[in-house]
Amino acid sequence: MKTLTTATAKAAPETELTKRAERTLAKASEALGWKLAERLRRQVRLEAAVSGGGRERCEKAAVELDRMAARLGRNAIARDTLRLAALLRVRGLAEGPREVRDLLGEMVAALAPAIPYESATAFVYEKASARLLPVAVQGAHVDLIPDIHFDNGAGFSSWVAKTRRPVLLSSFREDPNGVAVERPASFLSIPVCVDEDVVGVLNFAHRRPGTFTPADRDVVLLAARLAAPALALPAGDSYLLRSA
């Protein structure tokens, strides 16, 4: 029974990704005026990438989606298409056992076209010291309330790691005149877990209030779930790099 539960949990994010692909492709096909046969051909290719995985196959499908988004212009359907492309890239990256440091850094880069961040930081949870360590930074280092200490270290990321709950702040420091400020006004923090154990945290920030939406949060949560099987290590291993 335990084996069945594990297999079902592992398949769940792939199932969600397949459903997302079907919805996105249906909207894009209608907007672009494709015939049913063309839509079905593309859907088969996407489903093969989701189910089969592999970096090359997923990257090829993601590039096709990038082109589709460019044709759609700047609208909600194009944004959904870019989100799907980013998730397919994460699906391809999460093949086989991966070091947490490497995969989380690659995820931050893969999500860039889909999540409108200015800065991002990936943290790895080191079990031996029970602390979060930053391992990848895009733009500036991202964390909030760095002077406040929690069980897993200082800053908001440590609270997210402790509670394993995502955080979305849309106007953390909103200027009364609507002018962008130097410190983040929008903040998104997502725990990355393997089963019930936190292995890392992904933080994203922007100076403009209201930049991140619940849809952005859900994309990163799904990306974290897609990555989880590749991050699972034997019991007792540190989630940090096994060698420096």
Write the pLDDT tens digit of every residue in 12-59.
Answer: 899 999 999 999 999 999 999 999 999 999 999 999 999 888 899 999
Which residue has 């019930």 as its token pair?
196
Between CA 233 and CA 193 the distance in angstroms is 12
Q: In this structure, which CATH number among 3.30.450.40, 3.20.20.70, 3.30.750.24, 3.40.640.10 belongs to the domain 100-231?
A: 3.30.450.40
Q: What is the pLDDT of residue 173?
A: 54
Q: How many CB atoms lie within 10 A of CB 73?
A: 9
Q: Looking at 77-86, 94-103, 165-174, which range is the least confident one? A: 165-174
* Residues forming beta bridges with residue 201, ordered by sequence position: 123, 191
- Complete DSSP assignment for 36-51: HHHHHHHHHHHHHHHH
Q: What is the pLDDT of residue 48?
A: 92
Residues of the chain with CATH 3.30.450.40: 100-231
Encode pLDDT of 146-158 as tens digits: 655 556 555 778 8
As a whole-number percent, the residues of the chain with pLDDT over 70 amount to 82
Between CA 53 and CA 101 the distance in angstroms is 21
The closest alpha carbon to 239, from 50, 103, 121, belongs to 103
The closest alpha carbon to 111, from 85, 136, 134, belongs to 85
E strand or H helix at 107, and its extent? helix 100-111
Mean pLDDT of 202-217: 94
Structure tokens at 131: 């602390």
Q: Looking at 6-15, 89-98, 132-141, 201-210, which range is the least confident one? A: 6-15
Q: What is the pLDDT of residue 57?
A: 93
